[in-house]
Amino acid sequence: MRIVIVGGGIGGLSAALALRREGFEPQVFEQAPALLEVGAGLAVWPNAMRVLSKLGVAEAVFERGGQLKRARWLDSGGRVFKHFSFEEDDAPAVALHRADLQGALLRALPPDSLHLGKVVRGYECARKDVRADFADGESVNCDLLVGADGLHSRVRAQMLGEERPVYRGYTVWRGITSLEHTALAPDTATEIYGGGRRFGIGPVGRGRTGWWATANEAEEVEESASEHRGKLLRLFGGWCAPVTELVEATATESILRTATYDRAPVRPGGEKNVTLLGDAWHPLTPNLGQGGCMALEDAAVLARCLAKCGDADRALRRYEALRYARTATVVRYSRRYGAVGQWQSATAVRFRGALLSALPERVGRSLLSWVFDYDAYGVDV
Ligand SMILES: Cc1cc2nc3c(=O)[nH]c(=O)nc-3n(C[C@H](O)[C@H](O)[C@H](O)COP(=O)(O)OP(=O)(O)OC[C@H]3O[C@@H](n4cnc5c(N)ncnc54)[C@H](O)[C@@H]3O)c2cc1C
């Protein structure tokens, strides 16, 4: 089966690896001329580490990243609302630089399966196969096309229509620094809440700390790289250590700023030999750190469905049905978690603090375990 994957991000590369594990030889077409070390810290939760383990790259990811053994939620003054340790599991939670994850996936693939500098402009379905057309005028025919081309996917736009993703009302800034500070909690994912603002901290391996910050603002607000640090120091001035210390220790040009989007869950459809994967299908807000993890799960389930059922049409519809149920729930869950996290009024902030403090640990654990315990290689395809 000739398989073309559009996009060489986490989703596209992991789909290529998962398909190779099942005996297929997919080709990945990526628009960027080179895969650069862009991005910031990324959490890889146990549901995704399970997939990476089957793909043979869990060890490389574990070595480069920092393990997350605990989570805690604080107010901006440093008072702890809730904290708990993750249970010992078959798969750890790890945070690392996105480029380290991408690099580990890339090294596990044969170099000739990735084609850089190939911008897919669209595709054409014929009776038997699919033709992918590139901006350089070339094209390639395949039996199956997977759109793993991210939030602004061309494949999705052609399949489901040109609809803009939905802005969720807040901006995220992310940075990585090597600051040493006594207030940094080892092996811990920390989330700190204020009015309409949050700050997150976690180890990302090799002595580095990753941080993220959110603030409610209009989608149109523009900000140059030279302004990031100053703006964050104003927004988070007076918060508990080491919030401003982390921002101060990060070069302003290296801070990434992203608007927060997702899309209403929908099933891919209409084309029998074309499907979607990762953000191209179900982009989610970053609140649960699950976007990349969902793409990894997709990759495993897609490959398993194709391996089990030789007929591409049936395999793709089975994949879509299995993944729709899960991803739609995680997209909504992430959106709600973010909406509560961004509550701004003093009353709402007090109410949220009281809720977090009163939340029984077993309820918190069961919400997390619903996301973390999923095993894409254990699902009945
Ligand atoms: C602030 C923030 C924090 C996040 N934190 C986490 C986290 O902690 N954990 C986690 O799991 N996820 C996290 N995510 C989400 C995660 O980054 C994404 O869900 C994940 O990268 C999606 O992977 P993807 O391969 O589907 O898409 P992408 O990574 O966007 O890759 C798509 C690829 O397709 C290529 N492409 C696009 N169009 C074309 C075209 N026409 N032709 C050819 N190639 C094309 C692009 O160049 C790109 O390489 C976060 C996201 C944000 C914004």
pLDDT in tens, 101-122: 999 999 999 999 999 999 999 9
Question: Residues 302-339, buried b or exposed e (16+ Cβ, 10 A)?
Answer: bbbbbbebeebeebbbbbbebbbebbbebbebbbeebe
Confidence of residue 36 (pLDDT cuts 50, 70, 90): confident
pLDDT in tens, 221-254: 999 999 999 999 999 999 999 999 999 999 999 9
Q: How far is CA 85 from the centre of its chain?
A: 23
What is the mean predicted confidence (pLDDT) over 208-233?
Answer: 96
Does 172 score more than 90 pLDDT?
yes
Q: Which of 146, 91, 84 is nearest to 120 (CA)?
A: 146
Residue 153 CA: nearest ligand 1 atom is 38
DSSP string, 171-207: EEEEEEE----TTPPTTEEEEEE-SSEEEEEEEEETT
List the residue whose alpha carbon is closest to atom 35 of ligand 1. Answer: 7
Give, in order, the Cα–Cα distances in Å from 303 to each of 26, 275, 312, 316, 377.
11, 12, 11, 10, 10
Chain-wide mean pLDDT for the chain? Answer: 95
What is the mean predicted confidence (pLDDT) over 57-80?
Answer: 95
Residue 121 CA: nearest ligand 1 atom is 41
pTM comes to 0.97
pLDDT attached to residue 38: 75
Confidence of residue 39 (pLDDT cuts 50, 70, 90): confident
CA separation for the pair 147, 44 (Å, rounded): 22
Residue 179 Ramachandran class (φ > 0 left, ψ -120 to 50 alpha, else beta):
beta
pLDDT in tens, 284-296: 999 999 999 999 9
Q: Is 246 helix (H, G, I), strand (E, B) or coil?
A: helix
Q: Choose one of 279, 323, 335, 342 to mutate for the ligand 1 pocket test, by most ligand atoms within 8 angstroms of C-beta.
A: 279
Does 37 score more than 80 pLDDT?
no
Q: How far is the CA of 127 from the centre of ligand 1 (A)?
A: 32
pLDDT attached to residue 131: 97
List the residue whose alpha carbon is closest to atom 37 of ligand 1. Answer: 149
pLDDT attached to residue 364: 83
Confidence of residue 200 (pLDDT cuts 50, 70, 90): very high
pLDDT attached to residue 272: 86
Q: What angle do CA 64, 66, 69 make, to 5 degrees?
A: 145
What is the mean predicted confidence (pLDDT) over 201-222?
Answer: 96
Does 149 score more than 90 pLDDT?
yes
Does 87 score more than 90 pLDDT?
no
Q: Choose one of 14, 30, 298 to mutate for the ligand 1 pocket test, by most ligand atoms within 8 angstroms of C-beta.
A: 30
pLDDT attached to residue 350: 96
Confidence of residue 74 (pLDDT cuts 50, 70, 90): very high
Share of the chain above pLDDT 90, in %: 90
Does 135 score more than 80 pLDDT?
yes
Q: How far is the CA of 169 from the centre of ligand 1 (A)?
A: 20
Q: How far is the CA of 376 from the centre of ligand 1 (A)?
A: 20
The CB of 8 under 6 Å from ligand 1? The reply is yes
Q: How far is the CA of 150 from the centre of ligand 1 (A)?
A: 5
153-167, 195-209, 338-352, 355-369: which has the minimum mean pLDDT? Answer: 355-369
The CB of 85 under 6 Å from ligand 1? The reply is no
Phi, psi of 199 (to 5 degrees): -140, 130
- Amino acid at the residue 230: G
Number of H helices, E strands in the chain: 11, 18
Q: How far is CA 84 from the centre of its chain?
A: 23
The domain segmentation of the chain, as residue ranges, is 3-165+262-372
Q: How far is the CA of 30 from the centre of ligand 1 (A)?
A: 12
CATH of segment(s) 3-165+262-372: 3.50.50.60
What is the mean predicted confidence (pLDDT) over 266-291?
Answer: 94
Residue 260 CA: nearest ligand 1 atom is 53
The CB of 12 under 6 Å from ligand 1? The reply is yes
Q: How far is the CA of 131 from the centre of ligand 1 (A)?
A: 24
Q: How far is the CA of 177 from the centre of ligand 1 (A)?
A: 22
The CB of 276 under 6 Å from ligand 1? The reply is no
The CB of 145 under 6 Å from ligand 1? The reply is no
What is the mean predicted confidence (pLDDT) over 46-72?
Answer: 96
The CB of 130 under 6 Å from ligand 1? The reply is no
List the residue whose alpha carbon is closest to atom 29 of ligand 1. Answer: 9
Cβ proximity of 283 and 291 under 8 Å? yes
Does 187 score more than 90 pLDDT?
yes
Does 270 score more than 80 pLDDT?
no
16-25, 122-131, 150-159: which has the minimum mean pLDDT? Answer: 122-131
CA separation for the pair 57, 51 (Å, rounded): 9
Does 305 score more than 80 pLDDT?
yes
Residue 95 CA: nearest ligand 1 atom is 8
56, containing H or E segment: none
pLDDT attached to residue 41: 93
Q: How far is the CA of 237 from the centre of ligand 1 (A)?
A: 31
Q: Choose one of 5, 42, 323, 327 to mutate for the ligand 1 pocket test, by most ligand atoms within 8 angstroms of C-beta.
A: 42
